[in-house]
Structure 1
Amino acid sequence: MGILEIVKKLEEAGHKKIKFAICDIDGILRSKTLLLDKFIEITEKQAGFCDVVFGWDSSDRCYDNVEITGWHTGYPDKKANIDLNTFRNVPWDNNIPYFLGDFENDENNSACPRTLLKQIRRQATDLGYKAIFAQEFEWFNFLGTPNELAASSFQKLQSLTPGMFGYSQLRPSLYKEFFNELFDLLFQFDIPLESLHTETGPGVYESAIRYDEILKAADKATLFKTAVKEIAYRHGIVSTFMAKWNEDLPGCSGHIHQSIWNADQSKNLFYSGNPTKPMSPLMESYLAGQLYCLPEVLPMYAPTINSFKRLRDGAWAPTTVTWGYDNRTTAVRVLNGDEKSTRLEMRVPGSDMNPYLAMAASLASGLYGIKKGLKLESPAIVGNAYAKQDAVKLPSNLMEATKQMAQSTLANEILGEAFTNHFTKTREWECREFAKAVTDWELKRYFEII
């Protein structure tokens, strides 16, 4: 749909304003609401958007160690493109027109996650491939408002429902208006869900988003997290996508399903058609690339201090560089069905990751394997991957993972040196911020007894 057609549609509907958003390095949508006339003006050129959105962290604290923006540059406006193909209406906000945008990529601005994904997607297109991706999320829900939770210092939180009720028919009926609105309003927002159900844990839901080509899939996954939170607000509920909010409860995943098709999406190139050899050679090389690159790009899948609290043995999250057929203890799960459903599931990401970055890392790693003709160096894990003592272990914390990525020539090669440098600097900042914090654990452990 072109700008003239969009404007005509908006004017006929009586809209006077639109909203558009940029996704920052942490996966947070930073948005503006614009007068319709202003929107028309900037679509003829480009929108100005302060590049501080790539110069501060999730708490709006400015980085002191990045180069592309900062006090030394004066935090200028950068040219942002509004992608008209992302046009949708927000059904829970008076159907306000909504668009996503991204920043031009140049030597002075290499931090935009959506732009990075577009670059990696272009590599696939140039090879004659179409990447089909989908993401699934787990998240916890709590009763209350943001003010109430903040006032309580996030202590004594009341879960939406009590008890461990995975795949429950009973529990969603307690807050059925919220449950049904999630499914129905997200569909109207062009984020169709394949499934929505409770997961094991008090007040936790899981949802699988319908698959699409990779950029649209990342758009939907990014919008999904914010949309869920906004819909939850309508019901006096706060949703969290932390990877591990409680030591004693399961973590929250953000698994990525993926397959490579030919250009017109008529043939799944992962499908072998041979039941005795279920993976095509291309699928094997793609999988080998994902495993080979995984330790070098781990912060793209696990970007926070908290991410690594989820990556623990026996906690439904992988800890090793392993793969297996329909095995939920490995890093990558191979799903072989018919031609339509044959795919890989990258199980490392938690629900706290940035979908653009996680999908970019996934696709870039797989393409690396294809380009290099990599072969699988280890057999499929049968049984418990946590018990495989000889398997390569993933880095166990964000600092270790960030150091490995920052020193990686491989990460520079598949993601670009400028992006890798900026991203790893932001993760180093995250580690420094945590290192100086005094935690509840320290107070309980040391305050009186030490």
Structure 2
Amino acid sequence: MKQPLSFLLILLAITGQISAAWANAILIPMDDQQANHLKAYGIAYKVLKDEQDVDWLLNYRGGSFMVKQTAAIETECRVRGVSFETISDSKAASIKQQLSDPDVNMNVVTLQKAAKIIVYSPIKVSPAEFENTDAVLLVLTYAEIPYEVVYDEEVLKGDLAKYDWLHLHHEDFTGQYGRNMHRQSLTDIKVQEDIAKKYGYSKVSQMKLAVAKGIKAFCAGGGYLFAMCSAAETLDIALAAEGVDIVGSSYDGDGMDPNAQEKLDFTKTFAFGNFTLEADNGYRGFSTFSDINSAGGRGYDQPGGFFELFNFSAKWDVIPSMLTQNHESIIKEFFGQTTAFRKGAVKPSSLVMGEGKTSDRYLYGEMGRGQWTFYGGHDPEGLRGGGGFRNPTDLNLHPHSPGYRLILNNVLFPSARKKKRKT
């Protein structure tokens, strides 16, 4: 009995070692072998939420993720339809060694803390049907990444400091209700008027300026801001026009300052300068705010219909490398109220991460102790023009969308910050 028992113990030990050797890490590829790129980000976020680290392998197989192996994570990947590979510790170490080679444009960034995410949206207080097509709300829900919704009151009360990551989308911070009735309903407008009155502002434009300044303070204090579509444009317009009436009589009952353009202060903005305001075309007039928007109401700005991501050094330009991780570097253009950014309006301090032939599409910068990204357009998989722009995109049809991946890169970016020490 001793010999068979000893043999059995040795066999169990060997098989146990083999099992341990080949099941110590999970690689989530983000190249063409990935079955669902967007939901893969949700897996990475869940691991962080469970207080485990995620290694982001920059420029390795499309920006893959590597995590410690557990049966729970494997199950979660299978349930969500996310491709993964179980690898040994030695294989994981070999990959990291490969990425550390100074001759290759790759790197490993360890993500350590799930960001507290909020989306600024009027759906907090009103029906706001148009906002239901907010690409970030859609992709956060699809990727199963939890978030909260805030609007003007939360900003005015100073609640932003409780969070790490703030998104702005189809919003008008100038107080002109999107420049026409197609953008906001009477209910949406009434809610904003009520909030302004509650907090002692005589005009919605004054209240929206206070909100814009609150958002700027959030970012300067160390928060991360991600803005798309008209929010990116109107936030800077509102900040530049502090103390200047740029709102026509059709919106607030009195005329705009005839010298408003000359009084703009571009030192107060995030990304844009040297821009010209569009004239007031009436309550149901044009929806263009300024010449920051290179499309100027044409829908999208070039016949080719594509923009290109820049290739950054993963070792020296780590932040833009994280924000541009993708399995494709050429991405189809998509329209929006602010489709793309005129090159001449982009400040030299703004880092361009993606550009089309005639415009900049994807910008990054720093504000105080925080960071921000501005992304032109409304929906990366939206129709390129004509009708249907009010219909939410079904992301089940676009699980590999490179345009949506850029959004999710931004969601994970704050997790690269170091955890606070426990004392």
**TM interval, short-chain normalised:** under 0.3
TM-score, structure 1 normalization: 0.23
Which protein, 1 or 2, shows the higher relative CO under an 8 Å CA cutoff with sep ≥ 6? 2
TM-score, structure 2 normalization: 0.24
Higher Cα Rg, which structure: 2
Larger fraction in strand: 1
